[in-house]
Structure 1
Amino acid sequence: MQKNRVVLSLAASFMLCANALAEDTVKLDTIEVSSTVANTQTVDAYKVNTRNAGLLKDVLRDIPGVYMGGTNGYNQKIYMRGMNDRALNITIDGARQKGNTFHHNADLLIDPAIIKAVDVGVGVHSVVGTSGAMGGSVAFKTVDASDLLEDGEIVGARINMGFASNNDEFSQGLTIYGSDEDRIFDALGYFNHRGYDFGKDGAGRAMGGDGDDYNYLLKLGVKTGDHGKLTGSYEHMEYKGIYPMKAEWPGGVDRNGKRILKDSKYTRDTFALNYDYNPNNYIDLNLNAYYTDHNLDMTKEDPSGINTGVKTWGIKAINKTNFQTGILDHTLVYGTEYYQTKAYNDSKSATSGNKFKTKTANDFGIKDDEVKSLSIFLEDQIRHGGLTFVPGIRFDKYELDTLGGKGSTYNASGKKLNGDIKGRSKYSWNEWSPALLLDYQTQFGLGGYISYAKLFRGPDVFEGIRINNVNATDTKYNEDLKPETGDTYEIGLRYSTDLSEVSSLSLSAKYFYTEYENLIGEFSTPSNPNAVRMNAGDARINGIELAAKFLYENLSLSASYSTQDTKYKNVPTVLSRGKKASGYGSGLAYSDIGDKITFNAEYFISSIDTFVGWNTIAFTSINEQKFEGEKGKVRKPGYAVHDIYATWVPNSGKFKGLEVNFGIYNIFDKTYASHSQRTLDFSSAEKSSIDFEEGRNVKFNVSYKF
């Protein structure tokens, strides 16, 4: 099982973690990307601070196989091996993030400043926790008080302030945490605010949003005996302000000198309860229960505007049992997960016709779309010497209760076919998904692996905005809906060695190949407002990911290369459009992404307790054929962006406890747009539909812990 582990340091978000080493250097905790099958990258955690990461792309975009774009909190998306965030398993403190409210918005709302760890699984190699994952998984974990308290300390606090020049952003944060002397109970309270104006791309055009981000986290922990801990938390994340209605298309910010904007609010509220219990080698148990509500509200200026959301609650239990059989060591991982997702629409404009504008979909008997998912899984990690063999199997039972489809009581004109209330369809699938991994590590630093996994993903609920009586009418496209499935294969090599007492080298290379079947598209057209959700063909995605890192005393050099290629097959024509369909409406990325190249150079100046660094991320141009049967090609120009940064963390003296970060990002004020965005053809599309990224940005942050 590959499990790329990104440990986002507490020092990066909350602590001034400077420890004196024998070589008279300062060591910050690290963001560590590691794996049981490939050690691909190691990134120092101070990068979270030096980048003043307001969006996750500032932190995760360097990882091979991971792509991030988006110029505001409404549209930041994670793409992984050709799949978007809806086809990835994304969790926050174990809570699944199923926030598909509106296809022009992203589903991920999170403040990087409170993250202590991120498990990034690039690709699927395991049956554990991967139900519904088509391209990989991302698990965020937030900080708690026990992580922040130093030895002998029972109470502490941290304040921080920051500024970013491109969008005149000011941020302020406060964290207070404490515990009793015996470390039985602990508590944490966190609040952070970011206020900003529209930013500018390299050509001076408006981008992003004009708003305020608010995040607060309350967390309580209690030890239950010597081997257990119970943790409960509540988190509220909010993006509030003036944004384009279609956040990924900045034509809503400035089109021919006219701004088309919405005063809106996008929120996430998450309750999570976690229990860990590890008394012996046979019981290493994690229990998790959660509830999350995503809500998009655009009714402040227009009461008939969008007010929709998605609610998800679930429970999960995973246990690990370690034992031996002869010369073999086993780690048995087994458990179950159940979750339920509902999409709702409280918009007064949710129903068609002027006479309906004062009522919501529920007023007309429109039920929420609902998904119920149960999975049971078993995996055995078998080891002998340098050999690891991991077979696994998962069973999924998936149920969908949705608008329209084969059970609809409405026809395409919106009239009742029978005397029933509203047209709905119910689907149910049972699926077995095996996985297999073989990994071998030699004593001289060379290792390799090969893996296979069967993929399964049931259809999501309709986006919240589509829960209305119009979309209860369409039987044509939903009648024979099938779940998304696939087969994914991967092979990799890695090598690490100490070149001397003060230098080391690590290399990794991966090749992956995935066949997807019955990808699901969801869309509508101006001529036909009915939502079309249908199996939109198959796809094949393959690619290569390379990474290298060299360390010499206080110098660190790293580089990576990623490329992928997507081929579409059996793509049907959408009759209401007269065009070919695609699976991107549900999970597939909008198009391929050019070859990604990253380079990072960092040096620690021990005499002044300061890190300095240079980062480059570049994409080659891409010119690919459109969907099968369509004429023309997709054209996206290449680009390269360069950043410099520095962080000062005094290790002793009167300034200990202070941390200062400074950086200049996009030094050369490059005008560029992420290849992962929705607009396909940069050469012919209107400039107003291209989400150009920010131009030069000077960031400064200072924090103090006491």
Structure 2
Amino acid sequence: MNARSKIMCLLLGGTALTLALPAAAQDSFTLDPVFLAKSKREVLTDTATAETVVDQEEIEDRQASTVAELVDSVPGVTLINGTTPQGSGINIRGFGANATYGSDQKVAIQVDGASVGSEELYRIGTQLFTDPELYEEVTVIRGIAGTFEYGSGIVGGLVRLDSKDASDFTGGEPGFKLRQTLQYGTNGDAWASSTILAWQPTERLEFLGNYTWRSQDVQQDGSGDDIGADGFDLPSWLVKGKYTFGAGDAHSVSLSFSDTSSDETDVPYDTFGTAPGSFGNVDRETRSRTAVLEYRFDPADNPLVNLTATLSYADQKIDQQYVPGSSSCEGGGCGFPFPPGGFPTTNADHRYETAKLTVKNQALFDLGAVGHDLRTGIELVRKDRLDANSAPGGTDERLALFVVDDMTMGGLTLTPALRFETQEIGGSAYGDYDNDALMGGISARYAFGNGWAVFGSAAYTENLPILDDLGTPAYMTRSEKARSYEIGLSYDRAGVVRDGDDFALKANLYHTDIWDITSYTTSMMTPITEARMEGLELEAAYSLSTGHYVDVNANIARGENRTPGLGDDWEGTPADQLRVTLGRKWGDRLDLSWEVVHDARMDRSATPTPSSTVHNLRATWRPGTGPFEGTEIRLGMENAFDLDYTPHLATRRAPGRTIKLTLARTF
């Protein structure tokens, strides 16, 4: 038995034994159980929106190498690959990334309010180059309802990342704090180092600096074969400051800047790995920068004013050059003339710059028996895209107005929402076009007062034309349109089975239709114009005062291509999935968990995949005494039984067994 197998057996046996032993048999253990223990993730039962929050504790527990890996446990979210920044993408409810493009503009990604991510870059992935260590919280909103404050055309969903603050480490008290994190992963010889310096000169002034270096070689699948052809080095850094002032600390100004870069030499242009030989290799440099300036005014004596003004700038630059002799198509190997110096796509330099100003106010007031939480706002957006060898450049300018009102009447909450957006788009070599759209919806939730609640929503949105379509005039006045209907129930109550327990459940059924599609074609380049997605999402958590807990997530989806004459399954439909986590906590000192992820066989696709069951083990230990006092030690084992499989929708095989060790300490 080799070292890895021994570690796997020890961790599996330890976790299983801990979960199986009754509480009375563990009284002699040096760590007392924590009372009112919670599961790893809170189920948000108090909202009609299909929303999930991955907090700081779970981010650290998952030891993710990419941002995508932070959200793959959310029901309805599926990764297109995901273990490397290159060639990865996020699919939500059947939309988002696919095997050809890293984005279809139906899944939005925001960092501290800044809109990031590329348009439809061919076979390059989302290019969401940033590091999980920079963030304290990730929020995922699935579907259309709940997104009108953040953008238009969000059919699949929204991923919002919030970066860390200095006060997260200083506790709001003046002084210095230094946090150092070191991580190692066995599969791909993966190393990561994150250094955070937090400084509060006063209670009202704080600064944070974060530098993270992440490096990974080629990973192996469950059979020991290489995945892809190259690893990556990913340096990232973040600086952030905040100043609070005024009577009652009503005013605050914050400024943040983050920078992530990647430099690859002689790597396949096709990061999805579907046809690397045809396109050949490239030298590719990628740089992603985000700056956010935010002002808040929240006077304690005026509930009608809670004003936020956010000015953001996102800059993404991709420079690449074909490596001569690396394509199998040179010399006519593909049956058609090969352009001298490589295909236009392999020599294309891309740059996206997005500037956005959002001014939003929250007002709390009562009118008769109705309580209002009213959010109104205005948004100005300008996106500039550089002319490339393979894609048109131009400018997309937008003005949006939105209003969302949570109206509460006893146990009933109604939330109407409206968003109006107007657009001017064009390029120097193309025409100029004007478009506008009015979109919105309504959601309702009724709480019965006994823990049970029912909810539902109806919503409509439009995805206005994008710069990638400038070369197709027929698409430049045609927005993609979608509507959705959702209905569900939730339950949240303590003392369900025994004193000190806590149970939360949320089940959501959705139906989404999308038409006037401009972003998809079949493999034979026939346009796809209509589609439908339906599904069930389930989140549940149960915890005991003894520290034991169970988390359950499930997702069932059915998709249909409804284009006249092309009726078939929707190729973006994920496999049905069930994810169960069993664990136990001893206070905040020790947390052991065993996660089982089962994907059902998926044969409703032109590329069917067999079923798979993957086991992940995690342990977090915070020693209270001894030389490691104050240190956080995390040990994880992903794909513990070294299963050789390819997740549905992925274009690369999944990594085999990976053991991760993380050491972190705050000084």
User: What is the SS of the residue equivalent to 1:462?
Assistant: helix
**Contact 1:395–1:431 under 8 Å retained in 2:** yes
SS of 1:598's equivalent in the other structure is: strand
Residue among 627, 631, 634 paired with 1:658:
631
Letter in 2 for 1:641: V
Does 1:489 pair with 2:509?
A: no
- Paired with 1:53 and 1:624, the residues of 2 have a C-alpha distance of 30
Deviation, structure 1 residue 493: 0.4
Indicate if the aligned counterparts of 1:67 and 1:80 stay in contact, CA closer than 8 A. Answer: yes
Q: Deviations over 1:265-301 (max 9, x none)?
A: 2221111111122112111111111111111222395
Q: Please report how far the alpha carbon of residue 122 of structure 1 lies from its aligned counterpart in structure 2 after TM superposition.
A: 1.1
- Write out per-residue CA displacement over residues 466-517 of structure 1, whole angstroms, 9 at most, x where no aligned residue: xxxxx95x66xx3675101111110010112222322122222111011111
Structure 1: gaps (5+ residues): 1-19, 352-360, 362-366, 403-421, 464-470, 527-531, 573-579, 583-587, 626-632, 678-689
CA distance in 2, matches of 1:589, 1:47: 32
How do residues 385-404 of structure 1 correspond to structure 2 at under 5 angstroms?
385-402=410-427
Match of 1:72 among 81, 84, 89: 84
Change (3 A) 1:31 1:372: farther
TM-score (norm 1): 0.79
1:267-346 mapped onto 2 (5 Å cutoff) = 267-279=287-299, 280-299=302-321, 305-345=347-387
Taking the aligned partners of 1:26 and 1:109, their CA distance within structure 2 comes to 38
Q: Is 1:91 the equivalent of 2:110?
A: yes
Secondary structure in structure 2 of the residue aligned to 1:298: strand
Q: 1:265 aligns with which of 285, 306, 311?
A: 285
Quote the Cα distance in structure 2 between the aligned partners of 1:610 and 1:655.
14
Query: Could you tell me whether the CA contact under 8 Å between 1:484 and 1:519 is conserved in 2?
Result: yes
What's 1:602 paired with? 583
Letter in 2 for 1:601: L
Q: CA deviation at 1:660?
A: 0.8
Opposite residue 248 of structure 1, the aligned amino acid is F
Report the residue type matching 2:542 in the other structure. Answer: F
Question: How far apart are the structure 2 equivalents of 1:38 and 1:556?
Answer: 25
Distance 1:299 1:605, change over 3 A: same
Q: Deviations over 1:214-260 (max 9, x none)?
A: 100011111132112111111001233354311111664xx7xx995
8 Å Cα contact 1:38-1:492 kept in structure 2: no
Q: Tell me if 1:200 matches 2:220.
A: yes
- Between the aligned partners of 2:153 and 2:279, the Cα distance in structure 1 is 39
User: Within 5 A, what are the aligned runs for 1:215-226?
Assistant: 215-225=236-246, 226=249
* Residue of structure 1 in register with 2:232 after alignment: 211
The 3-state SS of whatever aligns with 2:304 is coil
CA change 1:382–1:455 in 2 (3 A) is same
Q: Post-superposition shift, 1:334?
A: 0.6
Give the match for residue 565 of structure 1: 558
Q: 1:167 to 1:423 in 2, by over 3 A?
A: same
Question: Could you tell me how far 1:110 is from its partner in structure 2?
Answer: 2.2
- Shift of the 157–571 alpha-carbon distance from structure 1 to 2, 3 Å rule, reads farther
Kept in 1: contact 2:528–2:561 (CA 8 A): no
Identify the match of residue 55 of structure 1 among 66, 73, 81.
Answer: 66
Q: Which residue of 2 aligns with 1:247?
A: 271
Q: Verify: 1:696 aligned to 2:645, yes or no.
A: no
List per-residue Cα deviations over 1:620-661 (Å, max 9, x = no partner).
Answer: 111226xxxxxxx44222212111111111245653321111
Q: Is the 8 A contact 2:269 2:281 kept in 1?
A: yes
The amino acid that maps onto 2:663 is V
Conservation of the 8 A alpha-carbon contact between 1:663 and 1:700: yes
Aligned position for 1:429: 435
Match of 2:176 among 148, 155, 164: 155
Tell me what 1:542 maps to: 534
Distance 1:650 1:483 in 2: 56
Q: How many residues align?
A: 598
From the superposition, tell whether residues 434 and 251 of structure 1 become closer, same or farther in structure 2 (CA, over 3 Å): closer
Q: Against the structure 1 CA distance between its residues 259 and 603, is the aligned structure 2 distance closer, same or farther, given a 3 Å change threshold?
A: farther
Equivalents in 2 of 1:296, 1:272: separation in Å?
Answer: 21
Shift of 1:563: 1.2
Q: Cα distance, 1:109 vs. partner?
A: 2.2
> Which residue does 1:591 correspond to in 2?
572
Aligned to 2:599: 619
Change (3 A) 1:260 1:49: farther
1:474-485 matches, within 5 Å, as 478=474, 481-485=477-481
Which residue does 1:576 correspond to in 2? none
8 Å CA contact 1:100–1:309 kept in 2: the answer is no
Call closer, same or farther: CA 1:56–1:442 in 2, change over 3 Å. Answer: same
8 Å CA contact 1:33, 1:43 repeated in 2: no
Partner amino acid, structure 2, of 1:491: I
Please provide the CA RMSD for this pair.
Answer: 3.1
Deviates more, 1:194-203 or 1:57-66: 57-66
Q: Which amino acid aligns with 1:195?
A: S
Q: Give the superposition deviation at 1:31.
A: 5.1
- Secondary structure (helix, strand or coil) at the match of 2:366 reads strand
Cα distance in 2 for residues equivalent to 1:454 and 1:90: 20
Would you say the 8 A contact 2:56–2:136 is kept in 1? Answer: no
285-294 vs 646-655, greater mean Cα deviation:
646-655
Instruction: Choose the corresponding residue for 1:673, options 646, 652, 663.
Output: 646
Superposition pairs of residues 25-174 of structure 1, within 5 angstroms: 32-34=42-44, 36-37=47-48, 45-70=56-81, 71-84=83-96, 85=103, 86-100=105-119, 102-107=121-126, 108-126=128-146, 127-150=148-171, 152-174=173-195
Report if the CA contact (8 A) 2:417-2:441 is conserved: yes
The Cα of 1:536 is off from its aligned counterpart by 3.3
1:507 is matched with 505
Kindly, what percent of the aligned residue pairs are identical? Answer: 21
Within 1, Cα distance between the matches of 2:151 and 2:635? Answer: 39
2:468 corresponds to which residue? 462
Which of 609, 627, 630 is matched with 1:636 structurally?
609
Counterpart amino acid of residue 150 in structure 1: G
AA matched with 1:81:
R
User: Aligned equivalents of 2:523 and 2:607: distance in 1?
Assistant: 22
My pick for the range that moved more, 656-665 or 260-269, is 260-269
Q: Distance in 2 between matches of 1:211 and 1:262?
A: 14
- Aligned AA for 1:105? I
